[in-house]
Structure 1
Amino acid sequence: MIWFTSDTHFGHENVLDFCNRPWKSIVAMNDELIDTINFWVKPDDTLYHLGDYSFRMMIQDAADLRKRIKCKDVHLIPGNHDKNWAQPNISWVFRVENPICVLKVEKRKLVLSHYPMADWQGMKHESIHLHGHIHSQGVQYNELNRMQGLFRYDVGVDANGYRPVCMDEILKWFEGVPCIGRVDWHNWVSATENVC
């Protein structure tokens, strides 16, 4: 099975406050996020982490946390807080992907990036754009995208109950939704102006 997550921010104490995360300490957050990944993602599954794996951690400490994740096949799409994981002494930690990674799974194109995009490859043909970065909380952002026929989904932990999301869940989320194929700026602004 293929899984997606983003913005774990391991080691980043300030994320507890600015994202209203429920833990009292960064150690508790790190431990529970890893336990949650291990609960959902099996060792032979594939996990795509869409950036901001850690922040304000020594690279070896961040690598030691990765050792605790039981999934063997973990890919990283780099985020703005990620270290250079291509260094020879730590290149084993992740399969580092390009900043925009395109997958074809079950006849469906997925466009992965740390950052949300307004337009992406295959958008008119129901390709799905997965991203992180924005720390949306709860389902509101993903629901707004679905209501507008935008196949764009925030896989970040803050938007998904602090757990990874599997491919099947994402396909089901958009099942039966008519794809608009292009962002209509006027409609997008109109649909979101009363949200804040």
Structure 2
Amino acid sequence: MDAVLIANMCERVHEEDDLWIIGDFAFGPRSKDAGYLKEIFDQLPGARKHLIIGNHDREPTLTLPWDTVSPLVELRDGPLKQSNTLCHYPMITWNHARRSAIQMFGHVHNNWLGSRNSVNLGVDVWDFSPVQFDDVAARALELPENLHWKDVEPR
């Protein structure tokens, strides 16, 4: 699986790009093997590598030479350069939620694609390939509105 993920990343992530891992960089028996994790990390494409901390990210992952490590990031991207939110966990609301921002998450694997403004970026639902903002925005338009959106973000 690691080889497939790396090959897919190398096809889509360019040398000058930022690579954002939305948590759970490693899981399973090898997730505690610092040498193996460094070997995988060194194969990642992109100019800068960022980790949004997931529930399976432990010391060997957190000590890799990431450019940034954070539980949550607001990131300007897309044609409107809105401040989108990246977090390993899905949220119902977040900063800028009413300003067309998208919350991007992982954690739930293929159990839920998300909603119109909160999109699952887990590799399980993207053919084990990285995605760009335009991919996420297009998928968001196909997803239903969150059933609780009006409860937590009344107009």
TM-score, with structure 2 as normaliser: 0.81
Identity of aligned residues (%): 26
Q: 2: distance between equivalents of 1:123 and 1:80? A: 24
Q: 1:39 to 1:176 in 2, by over 3 A?
A: closer
In structure 1, list runs of 5 or more residues that go unmatched. 1-28, 186-196
Matched, 1:37 2:9: yes
* Structure 1 residues 66 and 48, CA gap change in structure 2 (3 angstroms): same
Q: Aligned residues, how many?
A: 145
Comparing both chains, which one has the higher relative contact order based on Cα–Cα distances under 8 Å and sequence gaps of 6 or more?
A: 1
Superposed CA offset, 1:132-177 (max 9, x none): 000026xx624xx13xxxx000000001111111012223334599
Counterpart secondary structure, 2:113: helix
The answer on 1:53 being equivalent to 2:25 is: yes
Cα deviations across residues 72-118 of structure 1 (Å, max 9, x unaligned)?
Answer: 3110001011123554xx4x2x1233211111224211100001111
- CA contact 1:131–1:154 (8 Å) conserved in 2: yes
SS at match of 2:20: strand
Q: CA separation in 2, counterparts of 1:136 and 1:176?
A: 16
Q: Which residue of 2 aligns with 1:134?
A: 108
Alignment of 1:16-165 (within 5 A): 29-55=1-27, 56-57=29-30, 58-84=33-59, 85=61, 87=63, 90=64, 92=65, 94-105=66-77, 106-136=80-110, 141-142=113-114, 145-146=115-116, 151-165=117-131
**SS of residue paired to 2:84:** strand
Bigger shift: 126-135 or 94-103?
94-103
- Alpha-carbon distance between aligned partners in 2 of 1:176 and 1:52, rounded to the nearest angstrom: 26
TM-score by length of 1: 0.65
Secondary structure, aligned partner of 1:97:
strand
Whole-Å separation in 2 of the counterparts to 1:124 and 1:178: 16
Alignment RMSD? 2.6
Larger C-alpha radius of gyration, 1 or 2?
Answer: 1
Q: Return 5+ residue gaps in structure 2 as ranges.
A: none
CA distance in 2 between partners of 1:114 and 1:175 (Å): 21
Q: 1:99 to 1:39 in 2, by over 3 A?
A: same
Q: Which residue of 1 aligns with 2:132?
A: 166
